[in-house]
Amino acid sequence: MDSNTFVTLTDFRHQLYACFFRAGDALMNTADALLTDSTAKSFVQLSLSPCFERRWPSLYKAFQNAVIDRAGLMELFVRFAPLPSEEQRVVLGVDASSIPRPLSGTARDRTYVHASNLPEGSKPVVAGWQFSTLVVLPDTPSSFTYVLDNQRIPSASTQAQVAAEQIEALLPLLPARPLLLGDGYYGSATFLRLTQDLGCDKLLRLAKNRALYRPAPPRPEKPGPGAPKKDGALFKCQDETTHDPPDACFEAQDAKGQSIRVACWHNLHFKEARQVSVSALRVTRLSAKDTKRDPRVSWFVFVGQQLPPLEQVPVLYARRYSLEHGYRVDKQDLLWEQVRLRSPEAFQHWTDIVACVKNQLCLSRNLALARQPWERKDRCGTPSQVRRGMGGILRQLGTPARVSQVRGNSPGRQKGTFIPKAPRYKVVYKATDKPKKKPQIV
């Protein structure tokens, strides 16, 4: 047994317990039950775990009345994060995931969020909550994503605003300037404006229909009538006639022996964010099927100080897909979206507990690994396999939670007590920043 990992996990658990200001014993028992009981398929079944020393009503009461130091929780996560050596860069990933709650009329502050796998012809939206997740990405794509923060996106905020707040709070805790990877939503002028003053390099997916601009030409000595030009020549991703020769290019074969080309153009900007200078990168894979899932040409935008070598861009961005694998573990194995809690504050507490369990699985990947006889041993372990072996590890670690006290039977409600119905809330429509079109006069 790795003694260093054992000591690290022990310190993590004791400092985690210190972040629970209220209902910490029940929260710690719930985290241990979720960490070890892979047979539980619902929230209340966690109370049947041997790690949960209390009775099932303590579950709902704990998440309703809990107080968690979320700032201290982020500091704890960063302190134990699997950061690379000083020669390598810290690679972060950011994305948002939806928790559908279409029938929860008593749930407050629901908005319309994206929903997949709906019948053909229906709108891909459903009422629910949305969470912004910031993680440390593993070196090779896998589901071992280490969570740094997972915060709900209120109806009064946007996905880009919450992500910018998370990054701003995280950067002072990191030892070096990180590199952030994001999908096409974050490769927009809105997100770049919000994060332009943050000390973070960004490699973001760029939609193929985006239009960028070169720097504005210098003003003439004798300017004519009208305002000077604010933008230079057009650079349209889909129109090769607007592309000058690239400032840098690279062509070689990848690990599978397939030809790949990377071209880069510097000193570009969005019309809505002229103050942010970006570099556009085009990755061409000649052997791709040119479908939505396997495009032949992909576009990226880089903002920051240290552009990665062009030959590393395709492999580097592929690490972002670990976020999708991590979400699958959170929702299918760790019951993230299965729990039915009424208030968004209670569900935020549950989200923090899921993040705590996920990080303990990442820290224990070399300590506990239990494979089934039919599972291949030549492949890397998974969080599910680590979770199967956590029962024996926790028996040696123990728990910082206090032993529950027997309170006896509750006398119940007094006779004649009136219990009103829970209030119902309408789904909140988020306002759009797009200006309304003026009606045309015929």
pLDDT digits (tens, 9 = 90+) for 154-206: 999 999 999 999 999 999 999 999 999 999 999 999 999 999 999 999 999 99
Quick one: three-class SS letters along the chain?
CCHHHHHHHHHHHHHHHHCEEECHHHHHHHHHHHHHCCCCCCCHHHHHCCCCCCCCHHHHHHHHHCEECHHHHHHHHHHCCCCCCCCCCCEEEEEEEEEECCCCCCCCCCEEEECCCCCCCCCCEEEEEEEEEEEECCCCCCCCCEEEEEEECCCCCCHHHHHHHHHHHHHHHCCCCCEEEECCCCCCHHHHHHCCCCCCEEEEEECCCCEEECCCCCCCCCCCCCCCCCCCCEEECCCHHHCCCCCEEEEEECCCCCEEEEEEEEEEEECCEEEEEEEEEEEEECCCCCCCCCCCEEEEEEECCCCCCHHHHHHHHHHHHHHHHHHHHHHHHCCCCCCCCCCHHHHHHHHHHHHHHHHHHHHCCCCCCCCCCCCCCCCCCCHHHHHHCHHHHHHHHCCCCCCCCCCCCCCCCCCCCCCCCCCCCCCECCCCCCCCCCCCCC
Q: Mean pLDDT, to the nearest integer, of 317-337?
A: 95
The answer, as to whether pTM is greater than 0.85, is yes
Q: Mean pLDDT, to the nearest integer, of 315-340?
A: 94
Whether pLDDT at 440 is above 60: no
User: The tokens of 425 are what?
Assistant: 């809330």
Read off the pLDDT band of 223 (50, 70, 90): confident
Nearest Cα residue to 347 out of 357, 360, 361, 337: 337
pLDDT, position 333: 94
pLDDT, position 303: 97
Read off the pLDDT band of 292 (50, 70, 90): confident
pLDDT, position 79: 96
Say how far apart CA 321 and CA 143 lie, in whole Å.
Answer: 9
Say how far apart CA 375 and CA 391 lie, in whole Å.
Answer: 20
Write down how long the chain is: 442
pLDDT, position 433: 57
pLDDT, position 410: 73
Say how far apart CA 98 and CA 324 lie, in whole Å.
Answer: 12
Whether pLDDT at 226 is above 80: no
Contact criterion met (CB below 8 Å) for 180 and 200: yes
β-sheet bridge partners, residue 180: 92, 202
- The tens digit of pLDDT for each residue in 68-96 reads 999 999 999 999 999 888 778 999 999 99
Tell me the pLDDT of the chain averaged across its residues: 90
Phi, psi of 114 (to 5 degrees): -70, 140
pLDDT, position 414: 87
Q: Mean pLDDT, to the nearest integer, of 264-293?
A: 92
Read off the pLDDT band of 436 (50, 70, 90): low
User: The tokens of 108 are what?
Assistant: 């407050």
* Residue 223 or residue 242, greater confidence: 242
Whether pLDDT at 288 is above 60: yes
What are the Cα distances from residue 215, in Å, to 276, 289, 368?
11, 35, 55
pLDDT, position 56: 73
- Torsion angle (degrees, nearest 10) of CA 249, 252, 256, 258: 80
Distance of CA 3 to the CA centre of its chain: 31
Share of the chain above pLDDT 90, in %: 66
- The tens digit of pLDDT for each residue in 349-378 reads 999 999 999 999 999 988 877 777 777 777
Share of the chain above pLDDT 70, in %: 97
Whether pLDDT at 37 is above 60: yes
What residue ranges do the domains of the chain occupy? 206-219+229-294
CB atoms within 10 A of CB 423: 8
Read off the pLDDT band of 219 (50, 70, 90): confident
Q: Say which range, 27-36, 42-51, 369-378, has the weakest mean pLDDT.
A: 369-378
pLDDT, position 119: 80
Whether pLDDT at 435 is above 60: no
* Residue 374 or residue 337, greater confidence: 337
pLDDT, position 86: 76
pLDDT, position 30: 94
Read off the pLDDT band of 439 (50, 70, 90): low
* Residue 112 or residue 288, greater confidence: 112
Whether pLDDT at 441 is above 80: no
Say how far apart CA 21 and CA 76 lie, in whole Å.
Answer: 15
